[in-house]
Amino acid sequence: MELNMNLSGNLNLDNEQAALAGSIWHNALKIIQPQLAKMLFVTWVEPLVPFYVDENYLYLAVQDNFSYRYLLKYVNLFEEALAASNSFKLQVKLFVGNEGMQQALASIKASTFNNSTDNQSQVSDPGQPNLPLDSNNTARKDTQKTAINNTTETSTAESAGGYVTVERPSSPTSTKTTTAPTQTISSANQTTNSSPLAAEIVVNPLYQQHFRRDYRFDNFIVGPNNTMAHAACLAIANSYFNPGQKPYNPLFLYGGSGLGKTHLLNAVGNMVMQHRPNTKILYLQTEEFVNEFIATIRKQNYNVFRNKYRNCDLLLIDDIQFIEGKEQMQEEFFYTFNALYENNSYIIITCDKHPRYLVTLEDRLKTRFLSGLACDINPPTYETRMAILQARAQSLQENIDPDIISYIAKNISLNIRELEGALNSVLAIKHLSGYINLALAQKALEPVIKRNMEKTVSPDFIADVVANYYNVSKAQLYSRCKESKFTYPRHIAMYFCRELLDMTYADISQAFNRSDHTTTRNACLKIAKSLSSDLQLQKELANIQKSLHEQ
Ligand SMILES: Nc1ncnc2c1ncn2[C@@H]1O[C@H](COP(=O)(O)OP(=O)(O)OP(=O)(O)O)[C@@H](O)[C@H]1O
């Protein structure tokens, strides 16, 4: 794209300003050029167009968004060169394309006009569209980014009030740096409230997201299983209205099904939308991303796709494991990721496993996914499960016997979706029959609990717990050793495999390295028989069962 330097035109601005900007920049270039590789200088720096200067800023136009992002890391160098080559300090402001330049000039014109007619209105940054401020009159990170990106496209912030300074990294390696606003801002249509006025909220339709309203931080129960993931998500959400924070980017959340990954993604989206509705957020399931990309290939409209994904402020992408084995999609996502990362836009990715287990994922994506922070989410502890169930019952204004809650929490441990499902079943019985007690709940939940038990408890896990209880090693349990201090716990472990997992004697024998099924059968039957009269055995088995459930 060629930049058109018709500065005065309709805007009626003084061409002398452009000439002065040109001459100041020309001096600075003499210092900049020797410091950069020739290619870099010719490709990126020479095409910059100086088009305005005032007492604080030199305004430069860049060709496109990509150049803009690339050049941000050199702004400090430019400013140092300006200070060295001229006898005064200037900060650099970059604007994208003719449109960005025209917008900047229109703002300058408007502010000049306002200043001459209304002394109350001071403008600190004529280059940026009007943007809402936060409660400290501090420029907002999200809208700063929006403003920068939108100089060449539909602006989501154009109708808002206030001005900001440009956000830029202080060094090529820094991730997010926000410069504080340089002047106090006051204009007729600003708000100092953290919620922008309704009239200011013009959300680009591309980024109108509908988050699940019930997935919020305030109803997410934090326990030892998810503390890090929760804190990291909250930090990212906060960073959109608390410019001091610089959370890790990207954030990679991984863990089994139903453990709250989607809940956290939506919580971030809800919180940012609530406080900063102009933020360009994209939340999507990886499958949707893949489908959209396939449609893009069919229609050959790559620009639309890339503009949308590479220019958002926050990308929340759920279940990235679905990208496995899709080579072209991985390549596209690689470039999307890079563009967002360079633009200091946050990326949160969820997955059902650690990237190292995504066998057919390209290594360059794996390393990128792990370049920020990777947090696992584990199955909740018994206490967390209790808290989740209690909170859910309370939110539904349901009074449920604590024994029932405890029974569910004890018996369903791997998946919070199933935990909630069990509570819903109990509530359904309560509503249909007008009554619920523990026995009814146990009966109703029997199939689901059995299924859960099979998923949760493996023969190996039983061996672990039993060995631990009787203070022997698992190897001794699996060994052929016939000492009673080993055979007794071995038989108990076999008994649990039979009772809890419904395993055949053949399978149990195999699990415990035995070839003789009859011995296994006899061992299980002996334990079952003793159980009816042996109080000590009853106590031991109850304790072991408790440990098996409270993993
Ligand atoms: N810590 C928590 N506090 C309260 N509710 C939770 C918590 N974790 C999960 N949930 C609830 O459990 C259900 C399942 O969670 P979610 O859909 O976020 O899981 P997920 O990890 O994304 O699963 P999947 O990988 O299968 O998509 C949701 O209803 C969610 O609100």
Judge whether residue 143 has pLDDT over 80.
Answer: no
216 domain-assigned: no
- The verdict on 465 and 402 lying in the same domain is no
CA of 417 to the centre of ligand 1 (A): 6
Domain count of the fold of the chain: 4
Q: Is 325 annotated as a binding residue?
A: no
What does each C-alpha distance from 328 to 250, 293, 325, 469 come to in angstroms? 21, 9, 9, 52
222 domain-assigned: no
- The verdict on 442 and 513 lying in the same domain is no
Atom of ligand 1 nearest to the CA of 230: 1
- What does the alpha-carbon distance between residue 346 and residue 484 come to, in Å, rounded to a whole number? 60
Residue 293 contacts residue 416 (beta carbons within 8 Å): no
- The verdict on 269 and 297 lying in the same domain is yes
Residue to substitute in 259, 350, 423 for testing ligand 1 pocket (most ligand atoms within 8 angstroms of CB): 259
- The verdict on 247 and 264 lying in the same domain is yes
174 domain-assigned: yes
CATH no. for residue 534? 1.10.1750.10
- Asked which of 281-285, 420-424, 451-455, 530-534 is least confident by mean pLDDT, the reply is 451-455
Q: Is 22 annotated as a binding residue?
A: no
Token pair for 50 = 């100086």
- The verdict on 299 and 426 lying in the same domain is no
Residue to substitute in 217, 226, 253, 263 for testing ligand 1 pocket (most ligand atoms within 8 angstroms of CB): 263
- The verdict on 160 and 281 lying in the same domain is no
Query: Comparing 93 with 133, which gets the higher pLDDT?
Result: 93
Query: Backbone phi, then psi, for 207, in 5-degree steps?
Result: -110, 20
- Asked which of 38-52, 86-100, 186-200, 388-402 is least confident by mean pLDDT, the reply is 186-200
Ligand 1 neighbours by CB, cut-off 6 Å = 215, 220-221, 226, 257-263, 352, 388, 416-417, 420
pLDDT at 138: 33
Give the range of the structural domain holding residue 443, as residue numbers without chain letter: 382-455
- The verdict on 15 and 158 lying in the same domain is yes
- The verdict on 30 and 165 lying in the same domain is yes
Relative orientation angle of helices 438-456 and 402-411, to the nearest 10 degrees? 20
Query: Comparing 423 with 53, which gets the higher pLDDT?
Result: 423
62 domain-assigned: yes
CA of 165 to the centre of ligand 1 (A): 39
Query: Comparing 121 with 547, which gets the higher pLDDT?
Result: 547
pLDDT at 550: 60
Q: Is 262 annotated as a binding residue?
A: yes
- Provide CB contacts within 8 A for 361, sequence distance 6+: 323, 324, 330, 355
Using the 3D structure, point to which of 341, 362, 377 is the last residue of a domain.
Answer: 377
Percentage above 70 pLDDT, the chain: 78
Mark residue 435 as left, alpha or beta (left: phi above 0; alpha: psi -120 to 50; beta: remaining).
beta
208 domain-assigned: no
CATH no. for residue 61? 3.30.300.180
Q: What is the pLDDT of residues 249-299, one digit of tens each?
A: 999 999 988 999 999 999 999 999 988 888 999 999 999 999 999 999 898
Read off the pLDDT band of 116 (50, 70, 90): very low
pLDDT at 549: 67
- The verdict on 155 and 64 lying in the same domain is yes
Residue to substitute in 228, 416, 424, 455 for testing ligand 1 pocket (most ligand atoms within 8 angstroms of CB): 416
CATH no. for residue 347? 3.40.50.300
Judge whether residue 457 has pLDDT over 80.
Answer: no
- H-helix or E-strand containing 518? helix 517-531
Of the candidates 377, 445, 359, the residue with the CA atom closest to the CA atom of residue 405: 445
CATH no. for residue 446? 1.10.8.60
DSSP class of 43: I
- The verdict on 411 and 362 lying in the same domain is no
Mean pLDDT of the chain, nearest integer: 78
Token pair for 486 = 């080993």
- Asked which of 47-56, 120-129, 260-269 is least confident by mean pLDDT, the reply is 120-129
Q: Helices H, strands E: what count in the chain?
A: 22, 8
- The verdict on 391 and 534 lying in the same domain is no
Grouping H, G, I as helix, E, B as strand and the rest as coil, residue 491 is: helix
pLDDT at 62: 85
DSSP class of 151: G
Read off the pLDDT band of 383 (50, 70, 90): very high
pLDDT at 112: 63
- The verdict on 106 and 13 lying in the same domain is yes
